[in-house]
Every structure is written in C-alpha cells, then in structure tokens.
Amino acid sequence: MIDLQQIHKTFGAFTALDHVSLSIPRGRMVALLGPSGSGKTTLLRIIAGLEHADGGIIRLDGQDATDLSARDRRIGFVFQHYALFRHMTVADNVAFGLKVRPRDSRPSKDEIRERVSTLLKLVHLDGLAGRYPTQLSGGQRQRVALARALAVEPRLLLLDEPFGALDAQVRKDLRRWMRRLHDDMGLTSVFVTHDQEEALELADDVVVMSHGRIEQIGTPADIYDNPATPFVYQFLGNATRLAATVQGGTAHLNGWQIPATAPDGAAVAFIRPHDWTLEDAAAGANATLRHASVLGSSLRLDVTLEDGQDIEVDIRRDAGQAVPAAGSALRLTPNRVAVFPATA
C-alpha cells in the first residue's frame, strides 16, 4: 500500500504539484493521466525518491518513507527513455540491481545468472543477453528496462510513458502483454500516460491530473461515465461542450430543462454523442440536421440546435434504415447532461 498525503512541489515560482494525495492499494495498476506538463513525471519521481517534495508525506507499506533515500525504497522505475546503461550488455543491465546489493544480501554469481536468464525469458529477450542497448529496437529496450526494474523485486513499479516512444502496433501489443505480466506477477504499478485510451484500457484506477492537481480518481468506468470536472470531460474527449444558464437548480439549454446543482448564472453543459434520443419531429422540432454519415452500426449526425450551437449525435442504426436528409428538422432529447458553473 502506497500512501501519498498532501505532496507539494515547486520549481522556483512554478507549482508543479499542488497538495496531491493518493492511495495505491497492493496489486493495482494505476494510470496517471494528464496533458504534458501536468506534473505526472514529477509525482513519479517523488514517489521513487529521485525528487524531494517541499511538503507532504509518503508512506510505503505503513512506514514513513518521506526522507528515505531512493536507494532504500525498493521501487522499480522504468524511465521514459529507458536509461539503460549504455556500456553494459543486456544481461549486465538486468543483473545490476542484484550485483550492487550489500554482500550479505547479494545472491551468488550463479543465482544472479539464473535470475537474469529467467527474467530475460519472461520479457522474451533470451538470446539477446550479450547485446548492447544500441543494438536493440525500441520495444526491446523497453523490455530490458522492465526486466532490470523487476530484477530487484520492487514493491512498486513505476513506468513513465512506457509506450510513448513506440510505434502504434508495437504499442498495442506491448500494453496488453504488460497488463498480463502485472497480473501474473502480482505487481503493484503506476504508469504515466497522456493517452486516455491507454489509461482506460489498461488501468484499474485512473488518476486524472491537470496543472499539478488531481482532477479525479476513479475506475475507468467511473471516469468515463461521471467525469467530475469540465477538464476531465474535455480531456477524455468525445463530449460536446454547450453553453447553458442555471436558475434555481435548473439548467436551461435549447428549451430543455435539466436539474443542476451549479449556482445561478452562466454554466457549461457536457453531453456525449451517444447520450441522445431521436424522437418524432412531429412533436415539435428543436434542431436541424447539417450532415449525416453512416459509421457501421451507428449513424453520426452533425446537428445545429435551435439556439445556434452545433452538436454531434451518434445513434444506433438498424440495417436498411433510411438516412435522414440534410436540412431535415429533428427532435432531440439529451439522456445524460453534466452541468458545471461556467467559470470552473
């Protein structure tokens, strides 16, 4: 169990982490998701002990580790650019963490060789033990970095943009494999990413960060279904942002009245494209179709609301169903709407 409380970090006048608190239970895979510059790497480095927080407490398995040296934390770190020891072979890279142990806890030479060969098999690199890092592909280097970090049996594995430097196909394969490895080995891991798809697909818990603050923590379903802030809505993408007005607990938007907790005044509403119902326009139209396109089993409608705002609507399409013509009048009702104060 890793516990962070009120971690604060500034670089000069710039606040990189603003009182961040986070708990990571054993066995979980957690994604730190946020745009570039949101403080993800800094948080990872503070957990590893490579950077010292200005304030806050770090507890590892119940022990206060705030002032514990990175050396003694037993945390595995896979650097964004892998940071393999360039003058060492793959085998020596993987063996390093074992070789530098103090004499009384250091495995014998044979045991180390055994462990290295097991780990290299695990990451499918047996046969490349004698290569130098420059003689490997990006994906292979990444797996060497992983094997090197796992060699010391870390209580926590940290990965900084582990798939960032790889091309699309390798990336997809590697992340599925990574998830299986996590489960098979019973690891606890935190990985950094700015790719929401990666975070939602891979993680048990997603921590969304922005400007050094945590915007939301939740399971991928939580995060997707109930984004806590406008930022999370926007960062996860796939939601239309609309202007609305709140009065006495009700948001007014294009003639709809939606219950809202935001205070009176200007507000923003987020609606996902698949959260609309298309009704019979005879009951009164409230939108105009600009363009319709068929996307396999769904129909993508580009629509202008009566109040002038543009939205995207995805609805299920039955085979053979007619595609509405551009310019036709529609009657739409939103199923799920999130309303936030406009300033937030």
Ligand X SMILES: Nc1ncnc2c1ncn2[C@@H]1O[C@H](COP(=O)(O)OP(=O)(O)O)[C@@H](O)[C@H]1O
Instruction: Choose the binding region for Mg ion from 37-45, 60-68, 146-154, 294-302 (rule: CB under 5 A).
Output: 37-45
Q: What is the smallest separation between the CB atom of 194 and Mg ion, expressed in angstroms?
A: 8
CA angle centred on 293, ends 332 and 339, rounded to 5°: 35
- Ranges of H-type helices in the chain: 40-48, 90-99, 109-122, 138-150, 168-185, 196-202, 220-225, 230-236
Based on the shown chain and the rule CB under 8 A, indicate whether residue 50 belongs to the binding site for another protein: yes
DSSP string, 78-110: E-TT----TTS-HHHHHHHHHHTS-GGGPPPHH
Q: Please pick, from the candidates 16, 29, 147, 149, the single residue that binds ligand X as defined by CB under 6 A.
A: 16
Does residue 47 contact residue 190 with C-beta atoms inside 8 Å? yes
Size of the site for ligand X (CB under 6 A): 10
37 touches, from another protein, ligand X, Mg ion, none (C-beta below 5 to 8 Å by class)? ligand X
For residue 192, the minimal CB distance to Mg ion (Å) is: 6
Based on the shown chain and the rule CB under 5 A, indicate whether residue 41 belongs to the binding site for Mg ion: yes
Instruction: Tell me the residue number closest to ligand X, measured at CB.
Output: 41
Task: With residue 218 as reference, give the H or E element that holds it.
Answer: strand 213-218
Q: What share of the chain is helix, strand, coil (3-state, %, to 5)?
A: 30, 35, 35
Site size toward Mg ion (CB under 5 A) is 1
Place of tokens 């409230």: 286
Torsion angle defined by CA atoms of residues 48, 50, 54 and 60, in that order, rounded to the nearest 10 degrees: 20
The one among 6, 135, 247, 333 contacting another protein by CB under 8 A:
135
265 Rama sector, left if φ>0, alpha if ψ -120 to 50, beta otherwise: left
Which partner from the list Mg ion, another protein, ligand X, none does 152 bind, CB cut-off 5 to 8 Å by kind?
Answer: another protein
Nearest CB to ligand X, comparing residues 40 and 272: 40
Judged by beta carbon, residue 32 or residue 287, the one nearer another protein is 32
Dig out the tokens for 72 from the structure: 């003694």
User: By CB under 6 A, what part of segment 214-253 binds ligand X?
Assistant: none
Phi, psi of 88 (to 5 degrees): -110, 150
Contact 72, 63 (CB under 8 A): no
Exposure class string for 80-115: b at 16+ Cβ within 10 A, else e: eebebeeeebbbbbbbbbbeeeeeeeeeeeeebeeb
Q: How far is the CB of 40 from ligand X (least distance, A)?
A: 3
Q: Map the footprint of another protein across residues 103-132, applying CB under 8 A.
A: 132
Q: Report in angstroms how near the CB of residue 12 gets to another protein at its nearest.
A: 12
Least separation in angstroms between CB 254 and Mg ion: 40
Site string for ligand X, 30-59 (x = CB under 6 A): ----x-xxxxxxx-----------------
67 binds, among ligand X, Mg ion, another protein, none (CB under 5 to 8 A by kind): none
Contact residues for Mg ion, defined by CB under 5 A: 41
Contact residues for another protein, defined by CB under 8 A: 48-50, 69-77, 79, 81, 83-88, 96-97, 100-101, 132, 134-135, 148-149, 151-152
Contact residues for ligand X, defined by CB under 6 A: 11, 16, 34, 36-42
